[in-house]
């Protein structure tokens, strides 16, 4: 389905982003992966995508807090892979702390990575998509783009911001055969979720088991974590021709969380 197209996926060295990369490569897209981590592990993932799916896969180490690096990453994808057809804004971090103690530098980093980086990728990629006459922009938002939870001021603000950015850009490019949507997962079992358990234990004075049952899965009526494959499957669908009229939407994939 995506044969000959290029997908740039931010924050794809781990978790949901890596699942997007593999799912889009499976559809034939050449891939630019991005993110942090151990260099050998990243190279293994990159080479694995090429070997498993017979596509080209390149890695960009661009830091999503740095507008110049983000801008250069999109141009580099176009130069090395020939186009920028699918853009997935997925890089994200979390910090869990009460508002009066919330570190200013954590606020700034979360707004930069989870929200502003998408502004910078989109503003650079849209001219290429307009020129090609086709494009798909997919933002990984969150159930936290639709509802809030305590102690996540920066994350919830950034995700509500990405919802606004999604709708606005969708309107601007609606006549250019470019769709812009946000996927809003509930709790997906990835390193991002695993890492917030100790802080949530501290903030709520709970045990690990209590955090999983009473905080995380309590929000999800299915009582199951969403899987990275399910989220990636939705992104692949959004890239299909069948999804051409879906634009400007926030699509929950949250086990019923935001139905409550």
91 in contact with ligand NAD (CB under 6 A)? yes
Least gap, CB of 128 to ligand NAD (angstroms): 20
Site string for ligand NAD, 5-34 (x = CB under 6 A): ------xxxxxxx----------------x
Does residue 59 have an active-site annotation?
Answer: no
Q: Which stretch binds ligand NAD (CB under 6 A): 35-43, 130-138, 174-182, 241-249?
A: 35-43
Least gap, CB of 63 to ligand NAD (angstroms): 5
* Choice between 6 and 94, CB closer to ligand NAD: 94
188 in contact with ligand NAD (CB under 6 A)? yes
CA angle 213, 92, 71 (to 5 degrees): 170
Question: Do residues 143 and 254 touch, judged by C-beta distance below 8 A?
Answer: yes
CA angle 252, 257, 259 (to 5 degrees): 80
For 94-229, list the strands marked E by DSSP: 135-140, 178-185
Which of 187, 211, 217, 239 is close enough to bind ligand NAD by CB under 6 A?
187
What's the token pair of residue 108? 């700034």
User: Which residue, among 250, 175, 187, 251, has the nearest Cα to 218 in the 3D structure?
Assistant: 187
* Choice between 12 and 247, CB closer to ligand NAD: 12
60 in contact with ligand NAD (CB under 6 A)? no
- The active-site residue out of 59, 128, 155, 187 is 155
Which of 58, 92, 137, 138 is close enough to bind ligand NAD by CB under 6 A?
92
Give percent helix, percent strand, percent coil of the chain, each to the nearest 5.
55, 15, 30
The maximal CA–CA distance of the chain, rounded, in angstroms, is 54
Rounded to an integer, what distance in angstroms lies between the CA atom of residue 23 and that of residue 183? 15
User: Which residue, among 183, 14, 167, has the nearest Cα to 88 in the 3D structure?
Assistant: 183
What H or E segment, with its residue span, contains residue 162? helix 153-172
64 in contact with ligand NAD (CB under 6 A)? yes
- Distance, C-alpha 152 to centroid of its chain: 18
65 in contact with ligand NAD (CB under 6 A)? yes
Least gap, CB of 189 to ligand NAD (angstroms): 7
Sheet holding 86-89, edge to edge: 57-60, 30-34, 6-9, 86-89, 135-140, 178-185, 250-253
90 in contact with ligand NAD (CB under 6 A)? yes
The count of other CB atoms within 10 Å of the CB of residue 105 is 9
Q: Which stretch binds ligand NAD (CB under 6 A): 88-96, 126-134, 168-176, 206-214?
A: 88-96
Restricting to residues 108-167, which ones interact with ligand NAD according to CB under 6 A?
113-114, 140, 142
Which of 77, 81, 87, 93 is close enough to bind ligand NAD by CB under 6 A?
93
Catalytic residues: 155
Contact residues: ligand NAD, CB under 6 A: 11-17, 34-37, 63-65, 90-93, 113-114, 140, 142, 185, 187-188, 190-193
């Amino acid at each position: 389905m995506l044969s000959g197209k290029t997908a740039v996926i931010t924050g794809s060295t781990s978790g949901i982003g890596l699942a997007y990369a593999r799912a889009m490569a499976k559809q034939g897209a050449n891939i630019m992966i991005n993110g942090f981590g151990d260099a050998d592990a990243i190279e293994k993932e990159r080479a694995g995508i090429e070997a498993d799916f017979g596509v080209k896969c390149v890695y960009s180490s661009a830091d999503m807090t740095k507008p110049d690096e983000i801008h250069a990453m999109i141009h580099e994808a176009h130069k090395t892979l020939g186009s920028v057809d699918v853009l997935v804004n997925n890089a994200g971090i979390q910090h869990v702390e009460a508002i009066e103690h919330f570190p200013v530098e954590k606020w700034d980093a979360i707004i930069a990575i989870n929200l502003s980086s998408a502004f910078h990728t989109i503003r650079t990629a849209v001219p290429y998509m307009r020129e090609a006459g086709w494009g798909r922009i997919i933002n990984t938002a969150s159930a936290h783009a639709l509802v809030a939870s305590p102690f996540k001021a920066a994350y919830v603000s950034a995700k509500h911001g990405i919802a606004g950015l999604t709708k606005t850009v969708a309107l601007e490019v609606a006549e250019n055969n470019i769709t812009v949507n946000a996927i809003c997962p509930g709790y997906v079992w990835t390193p991002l979720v695993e890492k917030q358990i100790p802080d949530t234990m501290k903030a709520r004075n709970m045990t690990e088991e209590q955090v999983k049952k009473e905080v995380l899965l309590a929000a999800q009526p299915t009582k199951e974590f969403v899987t990275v494959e399910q989220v990636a499957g939705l992104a692949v669908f959004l890239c299909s021709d069948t999804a051409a009229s879906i634009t400007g939407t926030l699509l929950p994939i949250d086990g019923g969380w935001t139905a409550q």
